[in-house]
Amino acid sequence: MLDWDKDPPEQIISGGQPVMHGAGSVAVREAIEKFKPMLGLHGHIHESQSVAKIGRTTCVNPGSEYAEGILRGCLVTFVDGEVQGYQMTSG
């Protein structure tokens, strides 16, 4: 997160760590919280490979880096209608 009161803007540091701000869609999060799917597959924030849980929903962003020619994906294992595991892929 940047301090826009500075010129030029500076990274905000708290406890020795940069303060980060979520860049995800509020509408998508609200839909996940309302409908509670077992899996959410996401993208667009290309460099941000991550996995998170929102309630029962496993949310996956493989984080492809197109400028470097790296395409990332995720293999998801389901057992009895539930996410049991995942493995990130890259190529």
User: For the segment 3-16, what is each residue's pLDDT rounded down to a tens digit?
Assistant: 678 777 677 787 88
Specify the pLDDT at position 64. Answer: 79
The pLDDT tens digits for 74-85 are 999 999 989 999
Whether residue 56 has pLDDT greater than 70: yes
Amino acid at 81: G
3-class DSSP state of 19: coil
